Amino acid sequence: MRKVSRRLLPFLFILYVVAFLDRVNFRYAALDMNSALGISAELFGFLSGIFFIGYLLFEVPANMILQRIGARIWISRIILSWGIIVIITAAATSASERFVFRFLLGVAEAGFFPGIIPYITCWFRREDLARTLALFMIALAVSNIIGAPVSTGILENIHWFGIAGWRWLFVLEGLPALVLGVVTWFWLTNRPEEAAGPGIRLSKRGPCGNRGTPLPANVNPAQSYAHGSSGKVDQSGLRPGLAQVRCRYIDYRCSNDILPGRQNFSRRGDNAGNFCRLDNLQVFSGIFNNEYE
């Protein structure tokens, strides 16, 4: 697991930091951009929210494509796409163009986070998932810590070739995504089976299925990640998909009963993991089991 952690976690962490920076740099650019393009406060709020419409519409289709063609190709495509869109945004000359670019950014980024979570569960044992996901999600805090000084520093100090600082903000913060998109193509491995070797222990369960054990004829391949060693479908395998809840601008209390009727996901009712982030609420309740089978 240490080899897997050292190879995947830092890289995925950096990807998520860059993804979040490219999502929120719109807010910092607004300090100068709104007056330059004549964007009112009401219109700015609408432009901020249009990102999530594109995100909502395309995150499920994007995840379905990822399962078909593999994480290496699809995640690389996602990163390159949003990097290109962020850079092109610097050329916007009107609010309507900002509307289009903001929507397209949501479409481009839609499959990243929903795809990374099941990808992580393919590589790590169940007892390691809580710690792994917690470390991965720290990227949100890190991106906020470094995003403000970096973005405002670009706004105030970079006006090369007579181009406004807010335009350079999109260009300079979009470039890392282009570089990382290319690196992702060479760095990621689609599935543990393709990288199995000395020192790498494959997890027994996850969206990738039960490693090395053929599925019974009566088990739907779409449910293969829930297939346990007993040959029966284990409802605990469905937990990562069932327990994620996304909600903007609604504040919930993070507790075991946040999903009514879902307190006992595992066969022994041994729920160990509760993760909650308020703001863009992401809840993983009863996902992790203390015991590894």
With 70 as the cut, is the pLDDT of residue 200 above it? Answer: no
Q: Domain boundary at 129, 157, 191, which?
A: 191
């999903």: which residue's tokens?
259
By C-alpha distance, which of 81, 63, 80 is closest to 71? 63
Position 266 scores a pLDDT of: 37
Count of structural domains, the chain? 2
Across the chain, mean pLDDT equals: 74
32 with 131, same domain: the answer is: yes
The answer to whether 160 and 55 are in contact (CB under 8 A) is: no
Looking at the structure, tell me whether residues 255 and 170 fall in a common domain: no
The verdict on 178 and 277 lying in the same domain is: no
pLDDT higher for 225 or 163? 163
Q: Which amino acid is at 6?
A: R
Q: Mark whether 260 and 174 lie in a shared domain.
A: no
Which pLDDT tens digit goes with each residue over 44-53? 999 989 999 9
Same domain assignment for residues 138 and 273: no
Give domain status of residue 223, yes or no: no
Q: Across the chain, how many H-helices and E-strands are there? A: 8, 3
Question: Could you report the per-residue pLDDT of 266-289, keeping only the tens digit for each?
Answer: 333 333 333 333 333 333 333 333
Element (H, E) at 138: helix 126-157
Domain of residue 159, residue span = 2-191
Say if 225 falls within a structural domain.
no
Give me the CATH number covering residue 94.
Answer: 1.20.1250.20
291 within some domain: yes
Full-model pTM: 0.68
| Pair (57, 139) in one structural domain | yes
* In a domain? residue 196: no
35 and 101 assigned to the same domain = yes
Q: What confidence tens digit (pLDDT) does each residue in 141-191 have? A: 999 899 999 999 999 999 999 999 999 999 999 999 999 999 999 999 888
Q: Which of 156, 175, 191 is the last residue of a domain?
A: 191
Domain boundary among 191, 221, 249: 191
Considering the domain architecture, whether residues 265 and 180 belong to the same structural domain is answered as no
Q: Are 286 and 262 in contact (CB under 8 A)?
A: yes
pLDDT of residue 242: 35
In a domain, 46, yes or no: yes
Domain co-membership, 118 together with 175: yes
Residues 260 and 175 in one domain: no
Distance from C-alpha of 121 to C-alpha of 200, rounded to nearest angstrom: 15
Measured in degrees and rounded to the nearest 5, phi and psi for residue 207 equal: -60, -20
Please name the residues in contact with 192: beta carbons below 8 A apart, sequence gap of 6 or more.
122, 123, 200, 202, 203, 208, 211
Note whether 254 and 159 are same-domain residues.
no
My answer on whether 139 and 56 are in the same domain is yes
